[in-house]
Amino acid sequence: MTNAFNDNRHALIYTAGVVLTALGLGFGYIFLKKTKKLTRVGVVSQLVIYPIKSGKGVSVNTAECLEMGLKCGQLKDRQWLVITEDGKQVTGRQEPRLVLVTMTSEGEHLYLNGPSMEELRIPLNQKGNPVFNCRVFSDDIQGRDCGDQASLWLTRYLDSGKTFRLVQYESQMTPRRPVEKVPLFPAIAVIGQQVVFSDIAAVMLLSEASVADLNTRLERDVTAVQFRPNIVVSDCGAFAEDSWVQIQIGNVQLQRVMSCGRCIFTTVDPDTGIIDRKQPLETLKSYRLCNPFREGNL
């Protein structure tokens, strides 16, 4: 079953509960079983899909909300993954220039673009290609190889002396269940929660005000893009999202999974692909440390 976020510029966001920590929230996609009184808390200002894990985000006006993330046309959030020859995931933590790689689609083809690279067109479906066993953190998951052309393109672009391959998740494959791997994961709240190549949750939400508050503490401003949210919210206070447990956007209902733990990936500049390894992470540590599983963190 799918639901859609229609015209994000006018989509209002409501809450029916309390909790979340800023600069990234993990949400599970769940239909709320009881009708609750809703309170308007903000407006959706941007929707973003990241087809390739650690790749560049694609801003969209509308998106379907599936159980394992957002979808627009042929593109699904984080359902393509760059791996090494032995199947280990490659992210912006190891290869920060991945954040400059764009994937788009048209018809039955995918298109890869990157700085100083010619556009590569590859078939969307490559059923005859082998399936790789991939290692995503401590989980094993399958991915269909996207072919030698994609491999050569990525290997040449990243230029780090290694061979890389691109794989795609397919619906018949078994997704990951973070509840089985993440200590203290709130299993009761998210029974059945599954993801593909995302770290933990299917959707991440962030408010513009939280980023603005962070920028008052930084020498160099950052944007919401640096934190890779799927849903960006305006018209709310800084860290207001800390208190949202259940939210509704149109007819889509989401429930908080946990606050998003922040890592060194936040120090990768999304415009240059250069990793700083310090900011804004060090500043966040100075005032935003919390237990990501505890409700009401501020």
Give the residue extent of every domain in the chain: 3-287
Q: How far is CA 182 from the centre of its chain?
A: 17
Residue 80 contacts residue 168 (beta carbons within 8 Å):
yes
Q: Which two tokens stand for residue 38?
A: 């809703």
Q: Which residue has the tokens 């015209």?
A: 7
C-alpha to C-alpha distance for 33 and 23, rounded to whole angstroms: 28
Strands (E), the chain: 3-5, 12-15, 25-29, 39-49, 58-60, 63-66, 69-72, 75-76, 80-84, 89-90, 102-106, 109-113, 120-123, 131-136, 139-145, 164-168, 203-207, 231-234, 246-249, 252-259
C-alpha to C-alpha distance for 132 and 70, rounded to whole angstroms: 24
Instruction: Walk along the chain (298 residues) and give the pLDDT tens digit of each residue.
Output: 346 655 444 567 676 543 333 344 455 544 444 556 889 999 999 999 999 999 999 999 999 999 899 999 999 999 999 999 999 999 999 999 999 999 999 999 999 999 999 999 999 999 999 999 999 988 999 999 999 999 999 999 999 999 999 999 999 999 998 777 666 555 545 556 789 999 888 999 999 999 999 999 999 999 999 999 999 999 999 999 988 988 999 989 998 888 888 899 999 999 999 999 999 999 999 999 876 655 543 2
Q: Fill in the DSSP letter of residue 183.
A: T
pTM: 0.88
